[in-house]
Amino acid sequence: MYLRLAKRILMESDKRLLWKLFYNMGLKGSRSVQLHKRRMKKGEYFPPFLYVSIINSCNLRCQGCWVDVAHKQQRIEPEAFHRLVNESKAEGNVFFGIVGGEPFMHSGLLDMLAEHPDCYFQVFTNGHFITDEVAKRLRKLGNVTPLISVEGNEIVSDERRGRAGVYDKTIDGIQNCLNNKIFTGVCTSLCQTNIDDLLQESWVDRLIEMGVMYTWFHVYRPMGPNSSPDLCLTPEQQLRARKFVVEMRAKKPIIIVDAYFDGEGGALCPAATGITHHINPWGDVEPCPIIQFSTDSIHEEGRTIKEKINGSAFLREFRELAADTTRGCIVLERPDLLANLVEKHGAKDVTARKTALPELKAMTVRTSQYNPGSEVPEKSWAYRIAKRFFFNDFNVYKGKDHSKASAPAMIQRGETIAANGSSSGQTSTLVELETGSLNSQ
Ligand code: SF4
C-alpha cells in the first residue's frame, strides 16, 4: 500500500510541486510544530497552523453554513495578509489554511500566495472558480494545494449546496487541477444525508481513480443562524467514520487527513492544543472558525500577531477551559461554559449578523468526537509515527478529569444544560438518543 501510494504521488503529480510540498510543508512544517512544542514548554502559545478566512462571500448557499456569505463583501486585503504571513514566518510558520466564503472569489488570492514562495497554502474551495487557466496558474505557483469540497452524490450535493449543477462544476474544478498535475485533495462534511454514499470504499476508490491525492472527512457541526441539528451524525455514526478512516489509511493508496484524533485514537480539539486558531475576513482572531467571538484583531497596530495571540487572555482561557472540560469539542459539548467565557471577557460577536451569542445560548449539550472507551488506534504505522511526533494533544489534557463536565459524562448522568443557563435533570430526546449509542463498538 505504501509503495502504491508513493508511486501514485510520484507518477501523478508535478515533481516541482512535490518538492515544494516536501520541503515547505514536510520539512519546514514539521519544524514549525517542534517550535510550537518548545514554546508551549515555556508557557507561550503561537499556533504553527493559522487558518485565514480571506473573504466572506460565496457563490453557494450551503445548508448549515455559519459564514455570513450573503452580507456585504469583506476581505483581508493583500497588505494585511502579507503582514500576517511575514510576522508568522518570523515565528517559524510556513503553513496557512486559506478559507472563506469562497477564497477564489478574492480577486487578489493568487497574487497574494505568489508573494510567499517559501510557504505552503491549503485552499478550502468548492472548486467552481478553478478553470483550466486558474489551475495552470496554481501549478506555476507550486506552493498551493486545493482542498475541494464534495458534499455527496449529485442529488445530495446539489440539495445541500443550494442549487442544481453544483456537483458537476465541483467535479470540473477537481478535474482541472488533476489535468494540471496539482497535488489535490477532496473533503467532505459527513452528515445524515451523505454518510451512506461517501463513507464507502467505492468512494475512496473513485477518488484514487480520478487522481486525488488526499481526502478529509469532516463531521457536520450544527452552528450558525440556520443550523440543521437533524443533519448531525449520531455517536455511533461518528465511531463508524473513525473506524472507516483508520481502515482505509491502512489499506488504500491515498492520504486521509483528520484533525480530531491522536495516534492512539484519543480525541482532541486542535484549538485547545493550540496548534491552530482562525482569523476571519474582518481580521478578528478567533479560537476556531465556528467560534465567532474575538478580543483581538490583526488590524490593531503596534503588536505582532504572535504578541496578540500569546497575550490574549480570552484565547488562553479558551484553551484552558476547553482542555479542562473535554477532549472533544467544547462548542458542541458545553456551549453554556463557552458563553460564560465570552461574556467574562466581553469578547465581541464578530459576525456580520450579530446574533452569535443568542445562537450559542440556544444550543444544548451534544456529543462530539470524544467518546471515552471507544478509542480506535491507528492501524497504519506511518500515521502512528507521524501523529506521535507532529499531531497529538501535546499533553494539554494531562491530569485533566473529563468525567464530570464533558457531554458524555453529563449524558451518562442524564443531565442536559442549555447554554442560556437553564438546566434540567430530565433527559431530553436528544440525550436519550445519544445515550443509547455512546461507547457502542
Ligand atoms: S472547538 Fe470544536 S470546532 Fe473548534 S477546533 Fe475545537 S473541536 Fe474543532
Closest C-alpha to ligand 1, atom 1:
329
Quote the DSSP letter at residue 148.
Answer: E
Rounded distance from Cα 336 to ligand 1 centre (Å): 15
If phi over 0 gives left and psi between -120 and 50 gives alpha, with beta otherwise, what is residue 92?
left
Asked, for residue 43, whether it belongs to a domain, the answer is yes
Asked, for residue 87, whether it belongs to a domain, the answer is yes
The rounded distance, in Å, linking the Cα atoms of 434 and 119 is 43
Contacts of 95 (CB under 8 A, 6+ apart): 24, 25, 29, 32, 48, 49, 119, 120, 121, 122
Give the tens place of pLDDT for each residue, 280-330: 999 999 999 999 999 999 999 999 999 999 999 999 999 999 999 999 999
Which position has the higher pLDDT, 40 or 415? Answer: 40
Rounded distance from Cα 49 to ligand 1 centre (Å): 14
User: Where are the strands (E) in 104-202, listed by range?
Assistant: 120-125, 144-149, 185-190
pLDDT on residue 175: 97
| HSE-CB of 135 using CA atoms within 13 angstroms | 21
**What are 149's strand-pairing partners?**
187
pLDDT on residue 154: 63
The rounded distance, in Å, linking the Cα atoms of 264 and 273 is 16
Closest C-alpha to ligand 1, atom 2:
329
| HSE-CB of 296 using CA atoms within 13 angstroms | 22
pLDDT on residue 229: 87
Place of cell 485514537: 265
Asked, for residue 421, whether it belongs to a domain, the answer is no
Mean per-residue pLDDT for 381-409? 94
Angle at 128 between CA 125 and CA 134, to 5 degrees: 85
pLDDT on residue 1: 82
Rounded distance from Cα 115 to ligand 1 centre (Å): 30
* Cα–Cα separations (whole angstroms), residue 427 to 54, 243, 315, 435: 42, 29, 32, 10
Enumerate residues lining ligand 1, CB below 6 A.
Answer: 221, 269-271, 288, 290-291, 329-331
pLDDT on residue 40: 95
The rounded distance, in Å, linking the Cα atoms of 221 and 331 is 9
Asked, for residue 436, whether it belongs to a domain, the answer is no
User: Helices marked H in 211-325 — which ranges?
Assistant: 235-249, 305-311, 313-325
For residue 272, give the ligand 1 atom closest to its CA: 6
Asked, for residue 433, whether it belongs to a domain, the answer is no
The rounded distance, in Å, linking the Cα atoms of 126 and 136 is 18
Q: Cell for 364? A: 444544548
In this model, does residue 346 exceed pLDDT 60?
yes
Count CB atoms within 10 A of the CB of residue 403: 10
The rounded distance, in Å, linking the Cα atoms of 364 and 407 is 10
If phi over 0 gives left and psi between -120 and 50 gives alpha, with beta otherwise, what is residue 119?
beta
Mean per-residue pLDDT for 376-393? 94
Residue type (1 letter), 390: F
Residue type (1 letter), 14: D
Q: Which domain holds residue 78?
A: 2-328+346-354+369-390
CATH number of the domain residue 215 falls in: 3.20.20.70
Contacts of 378 (CB under 8 A, 6+ apart): 246, 249, 250, 263, 264, 265, 384, 387
Which position has the higher pLDDT, 10 or 132? Answer: 132
Instruction: Please report which confidence band the pLDDT of residue 64 belongs to, taking 50, 70 and 90 as the band edges.
Output: confident
Rounded distance from Cα 247 to ligand 1 centre (Å): 24
For residue 322, give the ligand 1 atom closest to its CA: 1
The number of folded domains in the chain is 1
pLDDT on residue 66: 85
In this model, does residue 13 exceed pLDDT 80?
yes
Phi, psi at 131, each rounded to 5°? -80, 175
Closest C-alpha to ligand 1, atom 6:
269
The residue to mutate among 288, 337, 341, 366, having the most atoms of ligand 1 within 8 angstroms of its beta carbon, is 288
Asked, for residue 49, whether it belongs to a domain, the answer is yes
Count CB atoms within 10 A of the CB of residue 424: 13
User: Where are the strands (E) in 42-184, listed by range?
Assistant: 49-53, 95-99, 120-125, 144-149
pLDDT on residue 420: 55
Please provide the average confidence, as pLDDT, over all residues in the chain: 91
Rounded distance from Cα 330 to ligand 1 centre (Å): 7
For residue 291, give the ligand 1 atom closest to its CA: 4
For residue 221, give the ligand 1 atom closest to its CA: 3
Rounded distance from Cα 293 to ligand 1 centre (Å): 13
Q: Cell for 223? A: 452552528
The rounded distance, in Å, linking the Cα atoms of 305 and 48 is 12
Rounded distance from Cα 344 to ligand 1 centre (Å): 20
Residue type (1 letter), 99: V
Give the tens place of pLDDT for each residue, 211-234: 999 999 999 998 888 888 888 999
Residue type (1 letter), 335: P
Q: Quick check: 370 and 323 in contact, CB under 8 A?
A: no
pLDDT over 90, % of the chain? 78
Cis peptide before 101 (omega within 30 of 0): yes
Residue type (1 letter), 410: M
Give the tens place of pLDDT for each residue, 257-285: 989 999 999 999 999 999 999 999 999 99
Asked, for residue 428, whether it belongs to a domain, the answer is no
Asked, for residue 38, whether it belongs to a domain, the answer is yes
Q: Quick check: 285 and 296 in contact, CB under 8 A?
A: yes
Give the tens place of pLDDT for each residue, 140-190: 999 999 999 998 766 666 666 666 778 899 999 999 999 999 999 999 989
416-417/423-424 β-pairing? antiparallel
Q: Quick check: 278 and 259 in contact, CB under 8 A?
A: no
Residue 437: strand, helix, or coil: coil
Instruction: Please report which confidence band the pLDDT of residue 431 belongs to, taking 50, 70 and 90 as the band edges.
Output: very low
In this model, does residue 436 exceed pLDDT 70?
no
pLDDT on residue 432: 35
* Cα–Cα separations (whole angstroms), residue 202 to 147, 193, 208, 334: 20, 17, 10, 37
